[in-house]
Every structure is written in C-alpha cells, then in structure tokens.
Chain A
Amino acid sequence: MSAKGCLHVQGFKRIPKNLDTFKWVHAVFVVAGNRKTHETKIFNAFCRTCKNRGPFLHACLDCVYFGCHKHIREHTKTQKHNFSLELTYGQLHCSSCGDYVYDAEIDEMTMENKMNASKFKKRLFDCTSWDATEEERRLLSHKTKKICITPESTIGLRGLLNLGATCFMNCILQALMHTPLLRDYFLTEQHNCNSVPGVCFVCEISKLYQEFYKGDRVPLALPYLLHLTWNHAPHLAENKQQDAHEFFIATLNILHKHCLDTMHKNNELLETENGKCPCIIDKIFTGGLQSDLVCQNCNVVSTTIDPLWDFSLDLGPVTLDGKQPTSLKAVLERFTRAELLRVMCSNCGTYQESTKRLTMKTLPVVISFHLKRFQHSKKIKKKISTVISFPEMLDMTPFMSSSSTECPYPQDNRYSLFAVINHLGTSINVGHYTAYVRQQRDIWYKCDDHIITRADLKEVLDSEGEIKWLIETATPTSQLWQESGCKLCLKLDISRGMFVNPDELAELNRTQKLQILLDGNVDTEAPAHEASEHTVYVYLNDHNIERLSVKIPVHLRYQRGQITGGYGKVSLRKPSLLVWCPKQLSMVCGRGLKVEAPCDETFSKMCVWKNQTYQALFDDVELFVPVGDLDDYPLVSIVSLLLGCAGCVYILSVLSTTSL
C-alpha cells in the first residue's frame, strides 16, 4: 500500500450504499455479536468454491461470495470485484492495490460495531490502539496499583459476619456475588437508579459488589441490607433462622421489582423485548416451563407455558419403581415424567383421564435447583438427608420440550456448576447454612459466614447440596404462612336448587374443627322455586395450604314439576378462594379481585378480601335432578286421593273394632 493511502477506497466510500453493505457485513460476519448474527455466520461463512471454513475467509463486498484465501483472490481477479473483507480480524482488501488498506473512516465504523457487540472478543481489539481521552487519563493517574489475578489471589472473596442467625442470607449473597452474569452487570454499572437514595435494593447489591471486588479481606457486616430485606419482605422480618430458599426467592422478587421501577423511563427498551421483562433478573433467571395436558380420550393436547425462576424438586419417597432417587438426573426425570390426572377436557367436555407432563420450553441462563429436603406432611416435620449426587456439568437436553423445531441446529444445553448451598443439621428448626462458590475457573471456596476456606471440587460434589447452584431447603410454606398473619377463606355460593343443612355444619364445626359460617336463612323444606340463595364461608387458618380437601355436605331441593318431566339442572360453582393479609403484606395477595366478606366465623365485621386463582380438582359441577311430569298430574292426584280415602276408611274401621 502506498503512503498516500488507497484511492479506490475514496471512490468506494462516496457511494453510501457501499458503506451500508460494509457495515452490515462487518457486524454480522466479523463481530457476530448476538445469536441471530451468529447463526447467519455459521450457515454462510464457508468458501463457496472449496466448501472449507478457512483459512483466511473473505467476503466479497460487490456480490454474495465467500472464499478462502486462495479462492477469494481468484474471484476478485476474474469477476473484477475490487473489495473484499477479511472475516477474522475485519481488514479490508483492495485487489487493485493488491493489499489490505486502512482508512480512518472505515476504522471508526468497525470500532463502533465492535463496541456494540454483545460479547467481547479479544482478537478484534488486539490490533487497535486506545487513545485515552483527557478525563480517562486523569482517572488513570489516580489508579496506579496493578492488580494481577492469579489462582492465589483472593479478590472477590469477602467473609460475611453472622448478625445472629443470618447465615441463610450470607450464603445466598455469596452465591449471588459469584454469579458471573450478575457480577458483570453490576461491575459495569448498568443499573442507573433514579429512585430515592437508600431505598433501592438494587443499588445496595451494587454497592456490595464494589465491596467484594475492591480487594479488601476484612469480613463485612450487612445490617443495612438485612434491614432493607425486612422492609421489602416482611415475612422474613424476624430475628431467627429463615429458610435460604425463601430468602433467595424474596431477593429475586425485590430485585426484579426495583429493576423495573427504576427502568420505566426507557420505554423503548421495554417495548423491544416483546412482552418479556427486560430486567436483569428475568434475563438471567427466568425459564419457561411447558406443561402439556393430553386427554386420553380425544388425544387433544393443551399446552401452557409458565415462567419460573427455580426448580423445586421433591425428594419424597414415592417413585415409579419404588426407589428413592439418588442423583439430580433421577430427580429431574421424576419431575418431568408424565402424571395421570383426572380433569375436565375442554374438547370432550367431560372429565377424562389425562396425562400431564412438565418440560422445559426455554432454559434460563442460570438454573437453580432447590431440593426439598424438608418434608412437611401434617404434623411430621423432618429432613430428608438422602445423598443426591450432582454432576459438575449438567446437560439439560433430555428435559427440553421436544418441539424444538425453531432452531435448525442442535443447541448446547450444558450447564456448569458454580454454587452449592448446604444446610447442616438434622432437623428443620436448627442448622446452619454454608455455601460453596466457584471463584475464577475451577477454584472452589467454602464460605461459612466470615470464614472462607479453599475447597476442591470433590468436596463440593460430595456435599449434600440443598440448593444446587443457589437454592436449597424449603421451610414449609405453611409454617411461613402461619407466621405471616394472612387469612384464607373458601367462599361457596349455594344456588336456589340446593341447600346446606345448618345442623350438619354445626356438627362439622364441633367434630372436625372447621370454622364455617353460613350467611343467609336456610329453609330446609322449601322447594327450589321458593328457596333463597345463601353463602358458606369456610375459614382455613390452621390448615396445610399447599393441598387441602374440605367436605361440605350439600342437599338438593325439590324442583317444580314441568309438562314433560325429565331432569332439572342445578349447578354448583367452584368455590372462590379469598385471601386477606395484614396491610404491609398486601403484595402477598397479589392482584386478586376485591371481595367483601365477613372477617371470621363470628360475623362480627366485614373485611375486604382478595379473590385468588387456584387449582381445584373440579371446576363447576352440574347436577341433574329428576323432576315431576305434569302430564301425570290428574292420574297421580286421583290415585293419591283414592289411596288417602281408603287409608282413612281402614284406620277408622280398625279404630272402631278395637276396644279402647
């Protein structure tokens, strides 16, 4: 190349279309930042002559042609196309000059592409120089200390002091602090907060990252963060040991909420994500769980996809072959196997045997598995301490939904382990949480509050692992529920065609300790057309809220006869589930419809409840009641009159013959 620069490039640059083409080709084939461009690159970047992927693959800028070193030169010569772009480093080749050429304007364009890439590629920056601005130079002069990361360096490791049974928080924070994507997000200061200082949880986490990675080794105490958690998640606000999983979910919830709150100004960003939440938490942790309901009768499949943040995996003793699962794979297999259910089929319109199967539709970037080691059935609370082995590298492909036809090439669904949280102790109420985290590649540390020790992979894999990745034990929800002070109530509307017997309800009150309130007057003898509707409230305060069955006896009333007889229809609606929570907990109740109902079974005052959706074994039930036929009216009345008379005569005759 001559010292004056390439004249051909000047001509090339004069046509704006050429520059657009160049920019596009560079963005897609050299930088290949996002998934889509990566895909395009894979399918197109090979030599059109010899079908190889190299060496020195070039793209012609005048036509659609890719070629390796030898063939691109032949192509530009025979076709008289002047420019080609080298695809590994992004250098422009001018065949008139016979060499690679440089141009300031083109360099600027390629730089812009490189900086916009979603992934940093070292090779693209190898040959570029960085001209620091005045401000950058000023900043650099302040920071003269060089930090070198070696396997021995402890940067990024900080102990956390236990503030009195806060190990559940410490271990989750340790795991979060070592989540690579979150770390990158926070250390690059992507969170621009516009809320009042001191309220935002995301800012607090951001500060914590700064503390962790600034190189100090003194343990940290986090009273402020704890206080903030208590404020935002009141169900954890108690000075005693909490469940780590509960804390993890609460933390994600708060982070998610605050991220959204502080993002509302960038509306463009919200729209471009087509319905998916753009916050960092959802980008990293949210996957899609697909549940397929297949009716055995008509084979119609109804599919729903739910977002989820973590897998809660049952370790209960029941399996198909009667054995308890001993590996994470087995537990996952159990989680995704087909289940037999009896539900209403929307196609057949009747209750049919159906199979339900859960699979992964989309996988999150970070999966957390939570092994439910705390069994909570009725009054028995115990910890399942079966050893569940888990691999360092997990392939999720077998658990994906099968219809992955959208992606033309097989995907890499392998995950590698970076954090494990353990619960030490044999029962639910006592115990201690520790965490294993991966720092750098393949170096593990055990974080036990303020003590951090080096661990090896074997020790990690041999640990009990309550929360693989991140998550562990479930303090049974019901215990949490009782502590929260929320109330649950089933509201059952009884239509005119049926009634509940108040005496039976009183009996249930007494024998089964059900708190039932009957609203409305019940005339047990009245036929359907003369009766009034009434409502039954069942208060469920002391029950296991995960699954519950309540039996309420309902009676059908006589129906008014009709001309042709037949059957009358009486329908029983699915009871509505009402939730009432103390004021500060209103977020637990969610966005239900507001309903006014008595606060408790004494009917002393009315409360505003929220109507919740829930999964019931049946929806609305329709019953058919035999109805009298009015055509038979004359016959029936005459016969009954005659029978009545005959009965009277008989009784009188008996009375007159018997001596009193």
Chain B
Amino acid sequence: MPQEYDSRASLHLDVNQGLDRVTELVQTRLIESGWRDQVKLLCRKAILESASNKHVPTVDELIAQITPKARAMVHDAVKRELLHELELILVNVDKTGYAKSF
C-alpha cells in the first residue's frame, strides 16, 4: 500500500504539473537563501583541490562529492516551506477526485 500510494502521488504531481511548480519554487528559494552560491563555491574549491593533483573531476565525481555537503546546507525554512507546499498539493489527491479512476 505505501508503494502504491507513492506511485499515485508521484503521478499526481507529474500530471498536474505540481512537481514543476514545486521545483521552481524550491529553486527560487535556494537561490534567494544563498545556497546556490555556497554550493558553487564548494564545487570550485573541490575542482581546485583535485586540479592540484593534476586531475580534472567529472560532473559525476563532483555530484558524488558535493551532494552530502550540499544537502546539509539547505536552510530549514526552505525545507519547511517545501513540506508545506507538498502537503497542500497531496491533500488534493483524494479531494478533487483524481484517485477515482486509479
């Protein structure tokens, strides 16, 4: 059941462009809170560090290296707002009759 609900919710998000909306919102908030610049800086540092070892990292390596740090840096306010926004959208999964033909 949780899995089924999960796929239903993710379909709902996709179908109604909810995911797009949320993504855009989060993106704006992350830029506003300075998170993007911080991550940029981290990436730059990481590249410089490995450049001193005569190796240019690939994007995949960078992703693997930076992601855990970047995740930790997201402001709590942004997380809360995202949660609230998702809740608002998901409450409507049942409310507006989307679920009926699933």
Instruction: Give the residues from 41 to 82 in chain B that come closer than 8 angstroms, CB to CB, to chain A.
Output: 56, 58-60, 63
Residues of chain B with a CB closer than 8 A to A69's CB = 60, 63
How many A-B contacts are there with CB distance less than 8 Å?
47
Cβ A99 vs Cβ B60 within 8 A: yes
Interface of chain B: mostly helix, strand, loop or mixed: helix
Q: Which listed residue (B27, B59, B101) contacts A99, Cβ 8 A?
A: B59
A414 touches B59 (CB 8 A): no
Q: How many residues of B contact A (CB 8 A)?
A: 22
Binary contact track A99-138/B, C-beta < 8 Å → 1, others 0: 1100000000000000000000111001000000000000
CA distance A399 to B99 in the complex (A): 17
| Apart from the given pairs A56-B63, A99-B58, 5 other A-B contacts in the complex at a CB distance below 8 Å | A42-B14, A409-B101, A410-B97, A410-B102, A412-B16
Instruction: Find out whether the CB atom of A414 lies under 8 angstroms from the CB atom of B96.
Output: yes
Find out whether the CB atom of A42 lies under 8 angstroms from the CB atom of B15. yes
Chain A's closest residue to B18 (CB) is A412
Give me the 7 closest cross-chain CB pairs, A-B, nearest first: A99-B58, A410-B98, A412-B16, A42-B14, A397-B97, A395-B96, A100-B59
B residues 26-42 in Cβ contact with A at 8 Å: 27
Contact B14 A410 (CB under 8 A): no
Tell me, yes or no, whether A634 is within 8 Å of chain B by CB. Answer: no
A81: Cβ under 8 A from any B Cβ: no
Closest A-chain residue to B58, C-beta based? A99
Across the interface, do B58 and A409 meet the contact criterion of CB distance under 8 Å?
no
Q: Is A534 an interface residue (CB 8 A)?
A: no
- In Å, the complex CA distance between A233 and B63 comes to 64
The 28 sampled A-B contact pairs (Cβ below 8 Å) are A1-B58, A42-B11, A42-B14, A42-B15, A51-B7, A53-B10, A53-B14, A69-B60, A98-B60, A100-B59, A122-B24, A123-B23, A123-B27, A395-B96, A397-B97, A398-B97, A409-B11, A409-B15, A409-B101, A410-B99, A410-B100, A410-B101, A411-B15, A412-B15, A412-B16, A412-B98, A413-B96, A414-B96
Contacting pair B60 A397 (CB below 8 A): no
CB of A73 within 8 A of chain B? yes
What separation, in Å, do the CA atoms of A98 and B24 have in the docked complex?
A: 29
Give chain A nearest CB distance to B45 CB in angstroms: 19
Report the minimum CB–CB distance from B47 to chain A (whole Å): 12
Residue of B nearest to A45 (CB): B14
Q: With A and B bound together, what is the CA distance between A78 and B36 in angstroms?
A: 35
Chain B 78-102: CB-based contact to A (< 8 A → 1; otherwise 0): 0000000000000000001111111
Most buried by B among A51, A73, A411: A411
Residue numbers in B under 8 Å from A1 (CB-CB): 56, 58
Q: Which residues of B contact A395 (CB under 8 A)?
A: 96-97
B43 to chain A, nearest CB (A): 14
**A42 closest partner in B (C-beta):** B14
Instruction: Determine whether the beta carbon of B60 is less than 8 Å from that of A73.
Output: yes
Q: Which B residues lie within 8 Å of A398 (CB)?
A: 97
Question: Shortest distance in angstroms between B85's beta carbon and chain A's nearest beta carbon?
Answer: 13
The minimal Cβ–Cβ distance linking A65 to chain B, given in whole angstroms, is 18
State how many angstroms separate the Cβ of A16 from the closest Cβ of chain B: 28
The answer to whether B15 and A123 have CB atoms under 8 Å apart is: no
Q: Mark A37-61, 1 if CB is under 8 A from B, else 0.
A: 0000010000000010100100000
Q: Residues 6-23 of chain B: 1 if any A CB is under 8 Å from the residue's CB, otherwise 0?
A: 010011001110001001
